Amino acid sequence: MDQRSLYLLRQAVTAVFKRWRLVALVFLAIFLPFNFFNMIRQPVFSAKSKVLITKDRGYAEVSPLVRDVAATDLPNEMVVNSEIQLIQSRDLLRRLSDELANQSQADPEGAFPVPGVKALQQQVQVLRKPQSNVLEIAYRSSDPDYAIRIVNTLVGLYARYHIEAHKSPGALTFFDKETQAAKEAFVQSDLELERFDAANGLTSIATEVENRLRQRAQLESDLRRTEAQVTELTTKVAAVEAELEYIPEQEATEVEIIPNPLLSYLRQNLARLEMERERLLQLYTPQHRLVMDVESEIGGLKSQIAGQEGTVVGRKKMAATGVRRRLEEDLLASQAQVGALEARRTLLAERISDYENQIRVLHGKHYEIMRMRREREEHKNTYNALLDKLNTMKVSEAMDMAGLSNVSVIEAAAAPLDREPDYKMITLALTTFLALLLSVSAAVVFEMVNPVMNSDLDVRHHLGLPVLAAIPLNGGSGGPGNNLQGNVQGNLQGNLQGNVGNGYRVGNARRPGNRRGNNGNNGNGGRRS
């Protein structure tokens, strides 16, 4: 350890011994209050009771929805958390407070203080055991019998409160009333169906509907066949009419062959032109324009004569065509058949319409029967469902009256209770260490805030100057030796502090150097504190 560390340790120890009153005061101010309340604190006992949450008891469903409730499944975490909220509910704790007040009034000799609802909310603890459906209900108190009483009373009230929370008030009366109404509706629909059956006959209506449907199907088959024939004949008539358009009404039976009159006329013109050419040749040359025109006309007539036949058809003897006459006869026969088939089709359509009207009436009666049967079946199902609900509600009400629920007390609170650890010795040790640490720290901090030179070691540490001599605490009586020693020490000390500047605080007062030296000259000596 170096000199600085030794110096600081020495300064801390010096500060503790120097300010021992402050150390003692801080230590007692911290140690006494904490340990006073720690020693007078009463022991605390915790009463615990364990409750098992099951699904053996199935409560009746008030909802009309069909639900399958599996009683063999374990309650899930949501169900267990709901039960925890029921135990911690303000209504149950208020009932617990009222029950404890009644017990206290019933036994004046053993009266005990009744906690309020807020106190119960703070003291009652409900915990779920890990990986289980067991709830632990605990209450802490300095009186073990009082804690046991509160826990067991709370468990008993919770068992009844659980039944009240899960049951549906007024459900039994509601289902009883609804069951009677459903029964009356079922009986009424049954009577209406019987009266309708007596008036119309359910079997005859069904048979008549079946017969009408079969007859209508046969007529529809005939109608479709007739329509097919009408379509076929209509197509045939159209084809015959189209064929008649290309067949003439009459044809020639005898024809006369005579010479072609056009050919004779062309030959006469040719002879006339040749005579005209001969005349023109006598007057003009062959290259003359008039001669050339006549020759061109002669060439044209010769070409026309070459293209004409020698004989042509003359007079004809006409008579009616045999093919057209046969086609017209077929056309008339087909048109007559089409008319007959159209009349048959109209008659079949009318009969089908009559059957449809009859079937519609029968269907109306049949639908009425089916409606009445459906209403009867619905009323019957409703009545049976409500009757089942009513019976279930009666059984559930009986189980509620018997106190059967999904809550089972597997461990009730009972004496003797284990005392909870109070950790008084640990608290005593911690407060002692804390008080000692804070008191010593206060003395050291106070010394650091108010620095004082108490020895020549402080002078050397803070000023870095050597100390030649030390003035005793009590100076001499004024003799020669004492005066000399006082003069020397006073002068040295005064000169030393004067050299520093304005002086330094030595002892418990701030003294200038000259004054210190004068005191030495006076023979009073110096004071070192």
pLDDT in tens, 347-389: 988 988 888 887 788 777 777 888 888 888 999 999 998 898 8
In a domain, 330, yes or no: no
Q: Mean pLDDT, the chain, as a whole number?
A: 77
Q: What is the model's pLDDT at position 378?
A: 92
Distance CA 525, CA 504 (A): 18
Q: What is the pLDDT of residues 250-278, one digit of tens each?
A: 665 665 666 777 788 888 888 888 888 88
For the cut 60, the answer to whether the pLDDT of residue 332 exceeds it is yes
Between 69 and 499, where is the model more confident?
69
pLDDT tens digits, one per residue of 466-475: 767 766 655 4
Q: Is the pLDDT of residue 279 over 70?
A: yes
Question: What does the alpha-carbon distance between residue 185 and residue 377 come to, in Å, rounded to a whole number?
Answer: 11
| Top-confidence residue, 100 or 246 | 100
Kindly tell me if the per-residue pLDDT of 70 is higher than 80.
Answer: no
Grade residue 477 by pLDDT with cuts at 50, 70 and 90: very low
Domain count, the chain: 3
Contact in structure between 345 and 226 (CB atoms under 8 Å)? yes
Mark which of 147, 166, 185 sits at the end of a domain: 166
Q: Could you give the angle at the alpha carbon of 116 between the alpha carbons of 115 and 120, nearest 5°?
A: 75
- Give percent above pLDDT 70 in the chain: 75
Residue 196 reports pLDDT greater than 60: yes
Let me know if residue 503 belongs to a domain.
yes
Residue 4 confidence class, pLDDT cut points 50, 70, 90: low
Give residue 435's pLDDT.
85
Q: What is the pLDDT of residue 94?
A: 92
Distance between CA atoms of residues 73 and 307, nearest Å: 119
Give the position of tokens 């030796």. 481
pLDDT grade, residue 481 (50/70/90)? very low
Residue 185 lies in a domain: no
Is residue 523 pLDDT above 70, yes or no? no
Q: Does residue 29 lie in a domain region?
A: no
Q: Are residues 162 and 61 in the same domain?
A: yes
Please name the residue that has the structure tokens 């269907």.
363
Check whether 394 has a pLDDT greater than 70: yes
- For 122-134, the pLDDT digits (tens) are 889 999 888 888 9
Report the alpha-carbon distance of residue 356 to residue 352 in Å, rounded: 6
Neighbour tally for 341: CB within 10 Å = 20
Looking at the domain assignment, is residue 379 inside a domain?
A: no
In contact, 286 and 351? CB cutoff 8 Å: no
Cα→Cα distances 54→164, 288, 478, Å? 17, 145, 104
- Asked if 261 and 150 sit in the same domain, the reply is no
Domain limit, last residue, from 297, 320, 343: 320
* Residue 355 C-alpha from the chain's centroid: 58
Give the pLDDT band (50/70/90) at residue 482: very low
pLDDT of 521 > 60? The answer is no
Question: pLDDT digit string (tens) for 293-321?
Answer: 888 888 888 888 888 777 766 666 665 67
- Tell if the pTM clears 0.75, that is, is over it: no
168/154 Cα distance (integer angstroms):
23
For residues 174 and 390, give the distance between their C-alpha atoms in angstroms, rounded to a whole number. Answer: 9
Q: Is there a domain that residue 482 lies in?
A: yes
pLDDT category of residue 141 using cuts at 50, 70 and 90: confident
Q: How far apart are alpha carbons 18 and 21 in whole angstroms?
A: 8
Domain coverage including residue 267: 250-320
Among the residue ranges 66-70, 322-326, 349-353, the one predicted with the least confidence is: 66-70
Note whether residue 108 is domain-resident.
Answer: yes
Do 158 and 257 belong together in one domain? no
- 506 bridge partner residues: 453, 509
Sheet hosting strand 134-141, strand order edge to edge: 125-128, 134-141, 45-53, 407-411
Residue 51 lies in a domain: yes
Which one is predicted more confidently, 193 or 517?
Answer: 193
Compute CA distances 174 → 52, 69, 168, 401, whole Å.
32, 22, 10, 18
**Given 123, 143, 166, which residue is the final one in a domain?**
166
pLDDT at 476 over 50: no
pLDDT confidence of residue 451: 63
